[in-house]
Chains A and B, each alone.
Chain A
Amino acid sequence: DAMVIQNPRYQVTQFGKPVTLSCSQTLNHNVMYWYQQKSSQAPKLLFHYYDKDFNNEADTPDNFQSRRPNTSFCFLDIRSPGLGDTAMYLCATSRGIGGNTEAFFGQGTRLTVV
């Protein structure tokens, strides 16, 4: 059974048209992460939530925003996508309270900006 679910799996959007990616989890984990992964590269952390505490990476463009309305859901909003934002976007969760923690990943959303 899928524990971290990302929707949609594939998304095509036009240059400059806002887009929202969704992530939900059934693990009741405290921490949720968003990563951007371009072809053949490492996942790049955009931001993460520890409960309601938002942690933004210094080099994440302002174009990228996130919302976490409750424990189960987290959204990635790209306000004005550029061609360079074409990538796989990965959501992950972790328990966050120490002791045998690990991150569980969703299957990703492949975003194409045209």
Chain B
Amino acid sequence: AQTVTQSQPEMSVQEAETVTLSCTYDTSESNYYLFWYKQPPSRQMILVIRQEAYKQQNATENRFSVNFQKAAKSFSLKISDSQLGDTAMYFCAFMTQGGSEKLVFGKGTKLTVNP
């Protein structure tokens, strides 16, 4: 079974600064996807960034980047130049590939960006 662990229940950062959210996972699969999803208060879950396990290069989307360490089963999210609109719950998620496409989430990190 796949498990996703987020060890930081809450974090805060000052506007314009950089913050890193941690995620580790456990799987015996070799092909899978990893995601970071953002869920603003009372709003829809949206994708922040995606990483294919077979790719060694870390994914980047504007201010968001990941540090993917496959051997260590680690997948952290770095948010640069934090903005007030980044305040949200952030969920790390794992999807199997080529099978049932099961998608499981970590417990989430509540990020607050302070002015």
Q: In the complex where A42-B107, A43-B91 touch, is A102 in contact with B47 (Cβ < 8 A)?
A: yes
Q: Say whether A21 faces chain B, with CB atoms less than 8 Å apart.
A: no
A100 to B97, CA, bound (A): 11
Number of A-B contacts (CB under 8 A): 59
Q: Say whether B17 faces chain A, with CB atoms less than 8 Å apart.
A: no
Q: In the complex where A53-B100, A103-B95 touch, is A42 in contact with B50 (Cβ < 8 A)?
A: no
- Tell me the chain A residues, 45-95 only, with Cβ under 8 Å from chain B: 45, 48, 50, 53, 55, 90, 92, 94
Sort chain A's interface into a size bin: 20 to 34
Q: Say whether B44 faces chain A, with CB atoms less than 8 Å apart.
A: yes
Which residues does chain B contribute within 8 Å of A108, judged by CB atoms? 44
Q: Say whether B25 faces chain A, with CB atoms less than 8 Å apart.
A: no
- Tell me the chain B residues, 65-115 only, with Cβ under 8 Å from chain A: 91, 93, 95, 97-98, 100-108, 110
A94 to B35, CA, bound (A): 13
CB distance from A95 to the nearest CB of B (A): 9
Chain A positions near chain B (C-beta within 8 angstroms): 30-31, 33, 35, 40-43, 45, 48, 50, 53, 55, 90, 92, 94, 96, 98, 100-108
The 9 sampled A-B contact pairs (Cβ below 8 Å) are A43-B105, A45-B102, A48-B103, A50-B100, A92-B103, A94-B95, A96-B101, A98-B97, A103-B93
List the 7 closest pairs (A to B, CB-CB), nearest first: A105-B45, A42-B105, A96-B101, A42-B107, A31-B101, A102-B47, A55-B100
